[in-house]
Structures are given as structure tokens and as C-alpha cells.
């Protein structure tokens, strides 16, 4: 095995210094399922869908630094069963009614569920009763669909420079909040052109007046599965985004 190479499911993956295991795998056309990772943002490590076994111990591959000689197991029945359970928990925790959701066919959670063979939520649905905020003239938020990935939080602060969103609470009480005196989106300066308005992987933050502009059946993940799209989206050769300092190497 060459110096900058690790072993993923029995075959070598090259990496550049500074890449995480997930970044190196995707750049080498090797898919590891993931949800909260976005190639334009620092890995955050919140969903754990990207969990792999590194030398027999579980680790989030989106934050685990690639190192020479690592032995990594990913596409195994054990790891995929763990991922199915995590996805099922997300479906059970929120209100994800795919057939009536505008995001259907463009939703990472739905696409991941299909790719992993999730057929039921597997747990009793919690049917949360969270607000729907339609106070903004061009955008609306359904908090019942939020999976707490923090992508809108990071996009609003790091790209838009507005910090419109934040996460509040811990554990089961953790929730997305809007940074305005009223707590309403209409009282912020978010714009439909902002990165935060487009980064939501599910149907929690959506633009108004464009519902079902593209018919169901012709949308992104209707055309090819998330495993293929993630490989197509992966940066090939660039300075990789670094793991955030609070979650580097988290398990
Ligand atoms: S609203 Fe969307 S982008 Fe923001 S934390 Fe929830 S799921 Fe993630
Ligand atoms: S992709 Fe969410 S923890 Fe790695």
C-alpha cells in the first residue's frame, strides 16, 4: 500500500493530506452513505449516517482524518443496518409525508431511504406539532421536517454573513430557531438568493410560488440514485474543507 493510501472494504483509496475518510472516498469514486456532509462546508458530524468501522471501532467518516494504513469497513451489512436505523429514526421523529412534499425527488433523506432499502419508519411516529412559518414573502419553513443538519445555520453565517438560523437546546429538545426578535423568518433579512435558502437537504426551507414546477418523476433522485449523484458532486482535486475543531475525529 502506498504512503497516502488507506484500505476501504478491501481495496485501496488514495488521499491528499487534510482530507477526511469520506472526502477521499468520494473523490476516488467510492460511495459512503452520508447526510449532513456537504462538499462546500466544513464537515460537522451530526447525523452519523456516514459511520464506518476504522480498525474495528466506529467513527464518522466525514470528520475522521484520512491516514495511511487505515483499515475501514463501510459497505457491510452491519454498517448499512446501522444507517437504516438512523434514517428510520429521522423519519419517525419528524413529519416526512413524502407523497405530498414539494421536496420529494430532491430530498436527501428520502433518497437515502430508498438507497438503503428503508421500507418503514421502524419506530412509532412521534408526529411532532411544530410551527410552519410562512411569514416571509418569498420563503417558508416547516419545522416538522427539519433534521437538524445545521447546513442552513452554517450557510447563513459562513456564506451569507447573516446568521439567520441557530440550533437551540440539547438532546430531544434540540431545535432550529430563527434569529429575529419575533422568532419569525419574515423579521429577518434572509433573501431567496441566499445560500441558506437553497441548502436544506429536506423540505424544511422552501421557496414560495414554485411548488411542483418540476413534475414528480423528473426530479434529481428520480433520475439516478443518491449514491451516483454524490459521486458526481464530489470535488476531485482541491484543498479539502477541514473538519470543524469541535468534532474532529468524533465517533
Ligand atoms: S432547516 Fe433544513 S438545512 Fe436547516 S437544519 Fe433543518 S434540515 Fe438542516
Ligand atoms: S455525514 Fe453526517 S455525520 Fe458524517
**pLDDT tens-digit profile of 170-201?**
988 899 999 999 999 999 999 999 999 999 99
Does the global pTM surpass 0.75?
A: yes
pLDDT digits (tens, 9 = 90+) for 142-156: 999 999 999 999 999
- Averaged pLDDT score across all residues of the chain: 92
Any domain includes 247: no
Q: Which ligand is nearest to the CA of 59?
A: 2
Nearest Cα neighbor of 50 from 39, 40, 29, 36 is 36
CATH number for the domain harbouring residue 26: 3.10.20.740
Question: Does the pLDDT at position 161 exceed 90?
Answer: yes
Tell whether 101 and 220 lie within a shared domain. yes
Residues 135 and 215 grouped into a single domain: yes
Residue 237 maps to a domain:
no
Number of domains the chain is built from = 2
Give pLDDT, residue 222.
94
Statement to judge: residues 212 and 101 lie in one domain? yes
Question: Is 89 among the domain residues?
Answer: no
Answer yes or no: do 70 and 103 share one domain.
no
Query: Which one of 75, 107, 128 terminates a domain?
Result: 75
Q: Is the pLDDT of residue 241 over 70?
A: no
In sequence order, what are the residues at sequence separation of 6 or more whose Cβ sits closer than 8 angstroms to the Cβ of residue 94? 126, 128, 144, 145, 146, 147
Q: Give tens-digit pLDDT for 1-33.
A: 568 999 999 999 999 999 999 999 999 999 999
Q: Is residue 208 part of a domain?
A: yes
pLDDT of residue 237: 58
Ligand 1 binding residues, C-beta < 6 A = 146-152, 176, 199-200, 202, 204-205
Q: Which residues contact 35 (CB under 8 A, 6 or more apart)?
A: 47, 49, 50, 87, 108, 109, 112, 147, 149, 201
Looking at the structure, do residues 117 and 53 belong to the same domain, yes or no? no
pLDDT given for residue 101 in this prediction:
93
CATH number at residue 202: 3.30.70.20
From the CA of 22, how far away is ligand 2's center (Å)?
Answer: 9
Please check whether residue 113 lies inside any domain of the structure: yes
Sequence-ordered list of residues with C-beta below 8 angstroms from that of 2, at least 6 positions apart, any chain? 12, 14
Q: Do the domain assignments include residue 202? A: yes
Q: Do 220 and 107 fall into the same domain?
A: yes
What is the DSSP secondary structure assignment for residue 155, as one 8-state letter? I
Query: Does the beta carbon of 87 sit less than 6 angstroms from any atom of ligand 2?
Result: no
* Within a domain: 188: yes
Determine the structural domain holding residue 130 and report its residue range. Answer: 97-225
Amino acid at each position: 500500500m502506498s504512503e497516502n493510501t488507506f484500505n476501504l472494504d478491501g481495496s485501496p483509496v488514495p488521499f491528499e493530506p487534510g482530507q477526511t475518510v469520506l472526502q477521499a472516498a468520494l473523490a476516488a469514486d467510492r460511495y459512503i452513505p452520508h447526510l449532513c456532509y456537504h462538499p462546500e462546508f466544513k464537515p460537522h458530524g451530526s447525523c452519523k449516517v456516514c459511520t464506518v468501522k476504522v480498525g474495528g471501532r466506529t467513527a464518522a467518516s466525514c470528520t475522521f482524518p484520512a491516514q495511511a494504513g487505515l483499515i475501514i469497513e463501510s459497505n457491510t451489512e452491519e454498517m448499512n443496518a446501522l444507517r437504516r436505523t438512523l434514517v428510520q429514526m429521522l423519519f419517525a421523529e419528524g413529519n416526512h409525508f413524502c407523497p405530498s412534499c414539494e421536496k420529494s425527488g430532491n430530498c436527501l433523506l428520502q433518497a437515502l431511504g430508498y438507497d438503503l432499502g428503508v421500507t418503514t419508519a421502524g419506530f412509532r411516529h412521534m408526529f411532532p406539532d411544530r410551527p410552519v412559518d410562512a411569514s416571509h414573502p418569498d420563503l417558508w419553513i416547516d419545522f416538522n421536517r427539519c433534521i437538524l443538519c445545521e447546513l442552513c445555520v452554517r450557510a447563513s453565517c459562513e456564506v451569507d454573513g447573516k446568521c439567520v438560523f441557530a440550533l437551540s437546546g440539547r438532546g430531544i429538545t434540540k431545535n432550529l430557531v430563527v434569529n429575529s426578535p419575533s422568532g419569525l423568518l419574515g423579521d429577518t433579512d434572509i433573501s431567496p438568493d441566499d445560500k441558506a435558502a437553497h441548502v436544506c437537504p429536506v423540505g424544511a426551507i422552501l421557496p414560495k410560488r414554485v411548488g411542483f414546477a418540476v413534475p414528480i418523476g423528473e426530479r434529481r433522485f428520480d433520475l439516478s440514485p443518491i449514491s451516483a449523484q454524490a459521486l458526481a458532486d464530489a470535488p476531485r482535486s482541491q484543498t479539502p474543507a477541514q473538519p470543524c475543531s469541535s468534532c474532529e475525529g468524533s465517533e
